[in-house]
Structure 1
Amino acid sequence: MAGPTRITSPCLAIHGGAGTITRALLGPAQEAEYRAALTEALTAGYALLQQGASSLDAVVAAVQVLEDCPLFNAGRGAVFTHNGLIELDASVMDGRSGLAGAVAGVRHIRNPVLAARRVMEQSRHVLLIGEGAEQFALAQGLAFEAPAYFHTERRWQQLQQARAQSAVLLDHSAPGAAGAVFEIALNDHKYGTVGAVALDAAGNLAAATSTGGLTNKQFGRVGDTPIIGAGCYAENGVVAVSGTGTGEFFMRGVLAYDIAARIKYQQQDLPSAVEQTLDSCLRQRGGEGGVISLDAQGQVYFGFNTEGMYRGQISASGLQVEIYHA
């Protein structure tokens, strides 16, 4: 769509994953850690918007903070594959130009979201994977880390737990032995993908998403995060969306773009578009997860069909961070 013709108030929204997130399972100390990390990401991205930077700059900065935080399943602190590796995915989309970039299955790039942006801006492509993506990022001068940087004991214990039960865990499951503790862990589903959407002072929208995928996932598995239109989408005058949840359902339903299409072609308002898409793509098909969304008027809407979602927003009206459903 044509670019905006008005000056608007900048806004940024982020998420750090959705799932079975309750006060009883999280606890006050851990809740405080998550709130502090979300606040740091919001503050970093919004500071750029206040300085006149683009929405793309803001979402990349916010996601970079979350990738550097071991609390989230993206970058440092990402989950392990079945064979004990960490494989990272990320994407960005610029609503002004319609350009997008993504990387998948990378193992050494410190901030995959930066690599995704470089793919968008410095290549003719949208998606690069594995070794090819890493060679490109290295040529671009991006920071690399040894596997030990990404390794956290909590994620390693999750893998051992999942291996013992031949299960695939959906992130943040509490470490512990088999039996009752493991049963609790299986019910403690948290999708740790991180993401951001932003609207800048010129009215431009942007979105970014980053993840480590699923604990004990098959080697080479790629979810919705680096798939434009599934886990990430932005279009000026319409909406910016970043998702988290059961990636296969997001891909089958082209979930992020479905929200945009409802707004663009059916003139639905943002909450209606999000909820109807979640119904058709997730609830009716047995999938779980959620999205953060931001329309051209600066309206933020968080939609999810889980007990909680790490989320927050910041604008001239102030900063707000939420975790639980209500």
Structure 2
Amino acid sequence: MSKRSTLVLGTRGSKLAVRQSEWVQSRLRDIAPAVTVEIRRIQTSGDKILDVPLAKIGGKGLFVKEIEDALLSGEIDLAVHSMKDVPTELPAGLELLCVPEREDPRDALISRDGRKFKDLPLGARVGTSSLRRQAQLLQARPDLSITMLRGNLDTRLKKLRDGQYDAIILAAAGLRRLTWGHEITEYLDPSICLPAIGQGALGIEGRANDQFVRSLLAALEHERTRTAVRAERALLHRLQGGCQVPIAAHARLEDHKVMLEGVVASVDGKEVIRDRVEGRTEDPIAAGVTLAERLLARGGDRILQTIYGTAP
């Protein structure tokens, strides 16, 4: 195992991404005081295109590809991602070396006048860039006007305050990590809006053969979070979905069981297929694949073919 005195940690340049990376940097400082961890900001494709809905940009890995390229070339030694941005298939030679304990996975509503979701006025303008959120919100409230919202968290909050929206939907985890939890009007119940795959979790990626970095990160690993996320990502992989397709899943661990709930929805929210399974914590991938098959059999295949443009 090749020990080093300096490691370079790659991250997106957003305030949230840097905060998450600084948390990892601080923990590694406690674990290995003799190792210096430098943070390097890397602009990704998803950061460069801010005036187009993510679903129309296409492709997977919009927020990680350039960072993964830097890992493969040896420019950086590890990378901190929001797990919901990480494709289910990683490039050869890379691995998720560590999955720390998950933050709150729920979506959060922030409204301009403090109204909760059910109390938003008829036809209220709600900002989100996520087709997953759009579909589920329209099922619950078909009257809403769902409008594209891109940009970093502080940019999105400013647009709300400027009156461009009546409410916006953001991941609770990001707000809490930035100590902006006080901005949240309401945590949306998963029965209204099931979270994105991996939402609230971090994935620390590195080279598969880098035993030194792997050994340092071992202290941050949270086995229960990894198990839950593996079940969710297995479902996404079976459905061949990207992070911007109307697919949602959330896994909870109870005793020795994985309780996995999933959703496949049409973009307009008129058709939402929801189901759940119980699986074994020893085999979370099986739970994800089983639930995916059930969703496909109940009509999810037809919905996804329409979205992907492959319907006969």
How high is the TM-score relative to the length of structure 2? 0.29
Larger C-alpha radius of gyration, 1 or 2?
2
Q: What TM-score, normalized by structure 1, do the two folds share?
A: 0.28
Choose between structure 1 and 2 for higher RCO, CA contacts under 8 A separated by at least 6 residues: 1
